[in-house]
Structure 1
Amino acid sequence: MTKVSIIGLGWIGLPLAQLLQERGHDVIGSTTTAEKKTKIEDLGVEVVEFALVPFPQGKAFQKLFLSEVLVINIPPRSRSTDGKFYLEQMKYLRTMVDQAGIKKIIFVSSTGVYPDHVRAEAYLEDDEINSETTGNVTLLKGEKTFKSTKELTIVRFGGLMGDDRIPGKYVAGKENVAGHTRVNYIHRIDAVRLLAWIIEKKLWNEVYNGVAPVHALRKDIYEQNVRELGFEPPRSYQNASESDDRLISGDKILSSGFEFEYPNPLNFPYFKTN
C-alpha cells in the first residue's frame, strides 16, 4: 500500500483516486471549492479544500503533503493567460513540497511542450526542448520547477479523449476542418491506468509520453463519431498536404510493460450528452 496525494481531483485526478483506492492504496486529494468537496466525499474519496491563488489557501490542506507520492495535476490554462499566474502557483507548490520533504512526484504535463513544427520522425521523451523550441513555454517552465526533486516522473499526455470528450463534437458543422493529419490521443481510462502503473511499478526519474500507439487519421475519427453518435459532420475539410503530421511516440511506456486497453482511437468508447 502506498499513501498518495493528488492535487487536482478533476477529469483525470478523480478516477485516478478511485482506481488507486480500489487497489488498496491510501489516497487523499484536493479540490478548490466546498461544493466540489461534498460531491467527491459522496463518492468515498478523502478530499480537502486547497487552492493556489497563487499562494496556498484552504482547510487542513497540510494533509496533502504527508504522503509518499504526490501527483500534481494542475492545468496551466496558458491558452487564455500569459502563464505568469500558473508559474507563481508552481513556485508556491514547490516550496511546500520542499518543506514537507516529499520525495516522489508525478507531474502531469502535456505533449504541447514539444515543438509545433512537423517532422518525419515522431517526437521522443529524450528530445531536447528549450524555451526557444517548445510549443508551450509555460508548461515547460512548470516541469522545470520540480526538476531537482529527488524522484520526479513527468507524464506528457496527448489529447485526452473518452466519455463526453468526443473529437467529432468539436468539429460538428464547421468549415475547413483539418482531417488529413493523424492524432496523438489517449483515452481517459488508459491515462488513469498509466499514472497508477507508474506509481505501482515505481517508475521514477523518467519522462513518459501518454499517447496511444495507433495514430488514426482525424477524418476517420470524426466520421466514425458522426456514424455512431449522430453528430453533424464537418461541412468541409482542408485540402490534404504531405508531411503535415506532428506525431508523438508513446513507445517508451510500452517498453515498461504497460498495455493500453484502447490502443486505437477509432475504438475509443464515448457517451453522448445533450
Structure 2
Amino acid sequence: MIKRISIVGCGWLGLPLAQSLLQQGFHILGSRRQLAELDELHHLGIEAYQLELNPKIDSNNIAALLDCDLLIINIPPRRKTNTAEFHIAQIQHLLDAAERYQVKRVLFISSTSVYGAQQGLVDESAPRQPETNSGIALKQIEDDLLNRQAFQASVLRFSGLVGGQRKPGRFLSGKTVSGASSPVNIIHRDDCIALISRLIQRDQWGECFNACCDQHPSKQAFYNLAAQQLGVAPPQFDEQGGSNKVISNHKIKSSLNYQFQFPDPMAWLQANKKEAE
C-alpha cells in the first residue's frame, strides 16, 4: 500500500503535484537542489531534502528522501547545459540509490520526444527513435528503469506541457515557424497531476503511457490564438517542413478509465480569454 511518496524535483509540475497528493492524504517527501529552497516546501507540509545530481548524488539526507513507498522522478534534462550522457548518469545514480534503499515502486516522468519525428498516429507500440539529446537520454533511462528487477516501475510520457506560468503564447511569439498545418500535441498540467494520481490510486505498474490532449489543432490556429490571448506578436508561419505526428492517448484513457479535464487545447485558450476579459 502506498502511503509515503517521494517526489524528486518539486518545480513547475512537482510542487503542485505534491500539494495535490498531500490533500489526498499521502505523506509527501520532496527535493530541491539548494538547501535555501527547502523552506517553501516545509511551509506547505512537505518533508523536504536537498538533492543535486552532479551527476553523482549530493544530498543532505538521501536515505531519508528515499524512505518511501513510491519514488516519482521528475527532473527533465537541462537542455542548454546537459549532454545526454550526463542526464543518463544522473538518473542511473538515483536509481542505484533507490535499489540500495529498497524503494519498491518508481514512476518516471518522460516525454513523447522519445518518438522523434515519426509521422501519423503514434501510440505506445511505435518504435522510439529520438533525435534530440533530451529524447535520446530519456529513451535510455526508460530502458534502464524497466529492465531493473528491484522495483516495479511505470513511465509517463507527456507531450508539450502547458498551464500555470507555461503560457504557449510566449513559446513562438515573433518567430518564423514551419509547418503551419502541423497538429499540436500538448497536455495541461492539471491533467498531468490527475493522471499521476489515478495511476497511484490504481497501483498500476510495469507499463508505459502516452499522455496528450484528445484534440490536435493546427500549429497556426493554436499559437495565433495563444499569442492573441496574451497580446504578444504572433509567429509567422509557412508550410515548409510540416509534420502530421499525432500522439495517441487511447491507452492511458482506457487503462486508467480517465477523461481529460482539458481535452481541447483551443477550448482551453478560449476559456482563458473569457476569464481575462
TM-score, scaled relative to structure 1: 0.89
* 1:229-248 correspondence to structure 2 within 5 Å: 229-234=230-235, 236-239=236-239, 244-248=243-247
CA distance in 2, matches of 1:146, 1:172: 37
- 1:28 aligns with 29
- 2:257 aligns with 257
Return closer, same or farther for 1:117/1:127 CA change in 2, 3 Å cut-off.
closer
CA distance in 2, matches of 1:180, 1:26: 45
The 8 Å contact of residues 169 and 227 in structure 2, kept in 1 or not, is answered as yes
- 1:203 aligns with 204
Moved over 4 A (4+): none
The 8 Å contact of residues 187 and 268 in structure 1, kept in 2 or not, is answered as no
Q: Percent same amino acid among aligned pairs?
A: 29
- 2:267 aligns with 267
Give the superposition deviation at 1:257.
0.6
Match of 1:163, SS state, is coil
Amino acid at match of 2:261: E
Is 1:185 equivalent to 2:182 in the alignment?
no
Give the superposition deviation at 1:42.
2.6
CA distance in 2, matches of 1:178, 1:127: 23
The 8 Å contact of residues 28 and 47 in structure 1, kept in 2 or not, is answered as yes
Return closer, same or farther for 1:174/1:206 CA change in 2, 3 Å cut-off.
same
The 8 Å contact of residues 52 and 89 in structure 1, kept in 2 or not, is answered as yes
The superposition leaves residues 164-215 of structure 1 with CA deviations (integer Å, 9 ceiling, x where unpaired) of 2122212222234543111110001111111111111112111111111111
Match of 2:260, SS state, is coil
* 1:96-135 correspondence to structure 2 within 5 Å: 96-118=97-119, 120=120, 122-129=121-128, 133-135=129-131
The 8 Å contact of residues 179 and 243 in structure 2, kept in 1 or not, is answered as no
CA distance in 1, matches of 2:44, 2:37: 11
Amino acid at match of 1:245: N
Give the superposition deviation at 1:239.
2.4
CA distance in 2, matches of 1:193, 1:18: 12
- 2:140 aligns with 141
CA distance in 2, matches of 1:32, 1:176: 35
Give the superposition deviation at 1:244.
2.3
List alignment gaps of at least 5 residues for structure 2: none
CA distance in 1, matches of 2:177, 2:109: 32
Amino acid at match of 2:244: D
CA distance in 2, matches of 1:228, 1:165: 13
CA distance in 1, matches of 2:227, 2:83: 36
Amino acid at match of 1:30: S
- 2:39 aligns with 38
The superposition leaves residues 42-101 of structure 1 with CA deviations (integer Å, 9 ceiling, x where unpaired) of 333221111111111121231121111110111123565321211111221121111111
Match of 1:225, SS state, is helix
CA distance in 2, matches of 1:178, 1:80: 28
Return closer, same or farther for 1:177/1:230 CA change in 2, 3 Å cut-off.
farther
- 2:75 aligns with 74
CA distance in 2, matches of 1:128, 1:237: 30
Amino acid at match of 1:31: R
Match of 1:237, SS state, is strand
Give the superposition deviation at 1:240.
6.3
TM-score, scaled relative to structure 2: 0.88
Amino acid at match of 2:45: G
How many equivalent residue pairs? 264
The 8 Å contact of residues 158 and 211 in structure 1, kept in 2 or not, is answered as yes
Decide which structure has greater helix share.
Answer: 2
Match of 1:62, SS state, is helix
